[in-house]
Amino acid sequence: MVSVIQTDVVVVGGGPVGLATALSFAREGLRVVVIERLAQADWENPAFDGREIALTHSSVRILQEIGAWSFIESAEISPLREARVETGDFLRALRFDTQGYGVEVLGWLVANHVIRRALSVAVSQQKNVSLFFQADVDFLHFEPTYTLVRDSSGHEIRASLVVAADGRFSPTRQRAGIGAIVHDFKKTMLVCRMAHDIHHNNVALQWFDKGQTIALLPLNGMVSSLVLMLSEAENHHILTLSQEAFNHEITRRVGGRLGAMRRVSTCHIYPLKGVYAHRFVTQRLALVGDAAVGMHPITAHGFNLGLKGQETLVRAVLESLTEKGDMGAKEGLRRFEQRHRRVTAPLFAGTNGIATLYTRDETPFCYIRQACLQLADKTNPFKKRVTSLLIDR
């Protein structure tokens, strides 16, 4: 006979946002079960996946508070001092820096696998969190006072609240009957680390060029993360090149800005699809991370919003616990949904607008984006708003 495990929260998905959620609840003395699809060894030692995550000040504060930041070595943290946005061969850039804000950096770049590893170490030391690996959710049943979850390893868990953190194509979101807007940008993103001869001075560059969009993210030393947005066929062709031809092609595409470039990591390709769930909650279930909002990475907000979202959820749920004695009460979940929608909806729409405007190559779009960049650079309130998204804690 299967014994039923009783807990406060089940988190489906032990990725970065799921683990942050588990830690936030556990710190409040609540019992959490995390169900993760990966095998334990892969989860504990995630491989480099090409993603370098630009972390805001608020994200670093949250990672510090939940006890994960201290597991990231300083050599793995690259400061970001300035960001430049350029279009075509138009030389005047839109610049974001820290002048007048009383901080030294706009944010920090840390590799995704390093963040995942730090969170997994912090979770492994947390006695309120149980982890089930190589498991999927097989069955989800909502009752007025609890939710019953059965995983593919046969565990049956009864919880006050289920949190789906299983990524942008979240099977749990689908199982709960929540639809999502999926915006296919019909492009892919090739990412890898490149060493170069000229120093980047810790300046990030986003360059919307005709036929390609390139981001160069400054890492410690003479190394940058290359993000190359092209059609699927073009990026796959680039992957077939020899190392020498690849280096030559990237140096050419980057316009020699950082001198000769050499690939120093594996390459990874991601499809560009934005996802926004129709709802963030249903009875005793909430969506966080990419399961709720999967952003186009162009504005580097996906994980940052995921961390903010789980913080908002935990606050709303704790309010419910105090007011109603029930952490899964619908009033708290609705409050979370409203608050998180207010933060994410304008960013999702704005990011999709930027991604569309800046990746179309027809002549009117080229002129419009040059004009927009010029206007944005002269518009102080706009620059202040974008900068405060990065540096507000």
Ligand X SMILES: Cc1cc2nc3c(=O)[nH]c(=O)nc-3n(C[C@H](O)[C@H](O)[C@H](O)COP(=O)(O)OP(=O)(O)OC[C@H]3O[C@@H](n4cnc5c(N)ncnc54)[C@H](O)[C@@H]3O)c2cc1C
Residues that bind ligand X (CB under 6 A): 12-18, 35-38, 51, 53-54, 112, 136-137, 165-167, 171, 189, 191, 270, 289-290, 297, 300-304, 306
H or E segment to which residue 327 belongs: none
Nearest residue (CB) to ligand X, 177 versus 256: 177
Question: 209 by DSSP, 3-state: which?
Answer: strand
Nearest residue (CB) to ligand X, 186 versus 324: 186
Beta carbon of residue 327, minimum distance to ligand X (angstroms, whole number): 21
Question: 11 by DSSP, 3-state: which?
Answer: strand
Which pair of tokens denotes residue 308? Answer: 């903010």
Burial 148-184, CB ≥16 within 10 A → b, else e: bbbbeeebebbbbbbbbbbbbebbbbebbebebeebe
Beta carbon of residue 87, minimum distance to ligand X (angstroms, whole number): 20
Beta carbon of residue 302, minimum distance to ligand X (angstroms, whole number): 3
| Burial environment of residue 341 by CB neighbours within 10 A (0 to 12, 13 to 18, 19 or more) | middle
Nearest residue (CB) to ligand X, 42 versus 89: 42
Please state, in angstroms and as integers, the Cα–Cα distance from residue 335 to each residue in 22, 58, 234, 278, following that order: 20, 21, 44, 16
Q: How many CA atoms lie within 13 A of 154 on its CB side?
A: 3
Nearest residue (CB) to ligand X, 301 versus 340: 301
Nearest residue (CB) to ligand X, 267 versus 318: 267
- Separation between Cα atoms, residue 25 and residue 327, nearest integer Å: 11
Would you tell me how many other CB atoms lie within 10 Å of the CB of residue 243? 9
DSSP-assigned states of every residue in 15-43? SHHHHHHHHHHHHTT--EEEE-SS-HHHH
Beta carbon of residue 22, minimum distance to ligand X (angstroms, whole number): 11
Question: 57 by DSSP, 3-state: which?
Answer: helix
Nearest residue (CB) to ligand X, 94 versus 106: 106
- Separation between Cα atoms, residue 210 and residue 229, nearest integer Å: 11
Beta carbon of residue 239, minimum distance to ligand X (angstroms, whole number): 15
Nearest residue (CB) to ligand X, 163 versus 329: 163
Beta carbon of residue 368, minimum distance to ligand X (angstroms, whole number): 26
- Separation between Cα atoms, residue 223 and residue 262, nearest integer Å: 9
Nearby residues of 250 by Cβ (< 8 Å), 6 or more positions away: 194, 226, 228, 261, 263
Name the residue type at position 296: H
Partners of residue 96 on adjacent β-strands? 83
Beta carbon of residue 212, minimum distance to ligand X (angstroms, whole number): 15
Nearest residue (CB) to ligand X, 224 versus 304: 304
Nearest residue (CB) to ligand X, 20 versus 321: 20
Beta carbon of residue 303, minimum distance to ligand X (angstroms, whole number): 3
Q: Which of 44, 114, 124, 51 is nearest to 77 (CA)?
A: 114
Beta carbon of residue 91, minimum distance to ligand X (angstroms, whole number): 26
Beta carbon of residue 367, minimum distance to ligand X (angstroms, whole number): 29
Nearest residue (CB) to ligand X, 230 versus 329: 230
Partners of residue 148 on adjacent β-strands? 141, 158
Which pair of tokens denotes residue 153? Answer: 């390893």
